[in-house]
Amino acid sequence: SYELTQAPSVSVSPGQTARITCSGDPLPNQYAFWYQQKPGQAPVLVIYKDSKRPSGIPERFSGSSSGTTVTLTISGVQAEDEADYFCQSADNSGYVFGTGTKVTVL
Amino acid sequence: QVQLVQSGAEVKKPGSSVRVSCRTSGGSFSTDTISWVRQAPGQGLEWMGRVIPLLRRAQYAQEFQDRVTITADEYTRTAYMELSSLRSDDTAIYFCARHHYCGADCYDALDTWGQGTVVNVSS
């Protein structure tokens, strides 16, 4: 299996842009998914197939991919976006989750 | 709208087994795949395995292959995860999550999650 590496934490002021990266060797050949998890709650899917947004997810959430790195961007961060964010991908052995990034809204 | 409802919290002794259930409503259970993901206190997410009811087949993460059994009952629309030989480091929240079936080797986004089941392993 492989690892997906994320920075442990990101801090951002309200209205600014948060960028959360996830790096892993298989990412050029596999889709990535992103989940938001708030304390005491189950994860929520916010991006699928690198850059697609599920219905009900605000437009300020976007995803991109370049080589071995995928990025979740939150434009115009709001206080309610403070949460842990996990990337995820898969190979034929199953899913792998990233190490997680805690986003703090200052 | 698919919903997943899990069974309640469990307290177990080391060496015992635990069985957690995940009942689905809405959607088509037979064409879903149900995964199990756990999260130890203050830690990240860890995929344990999944069941594909359409194929009557389960797939497991290598780390759990010897201790976990994941099954599905199409009549009750319920998936089960049983973990044996419990240790203190199995203390975690266990989540079920689904995606629509897209092929035996297809791993799609987990678009719906259960509320989580706390399993506490303590002597």
Res. B51: pLDDT tops 80: yes
> Mean per-residue pLDDT for B10-25?
98
CA B56 to chain A, closest CA, distance in angstroms equals 17
Query: Could you give the CA distance from residue A90 to residue B109 in angstroms, rounded to a whole number?
Result: 10
User: What is the tens place of the pLDDT at every residue in A53-75?
Assistant: 999 999 999 999 999 999 999 99
Res. B100: pLDDT tops 90: yes
Query: Could you give the CA distance from residue B4 to residue B75 in angstroms, rounded to a whole number?
Result: 15
Partners of B46 on chain A (C-beta within 8 Å) are: 97
CA B40 to chain A, closest CA, distance in angstroms equals 12
Q: Do A33 and B110 touch (CB under 8 A)?
A: yes
Res. B53: pLDDT tops 80: yes
Closest CA to A92 of A3, A28, A1, A25: A1
User: What is the tens place of the pLDDT at every residue in A3-53?
Assistant: 999 999 999 999 999 999 999 998 989 999 999 999 999 999 999 999 999
- pLDDT band, very low/low/confident/very high, at B36 (cuts 50, 70, 90): very high
Judge whether B3 is closer than 8 Å to chain A, CB to CB: no
Judge whether B59 is closer than 8 Å to chain A, CB to CB: yes
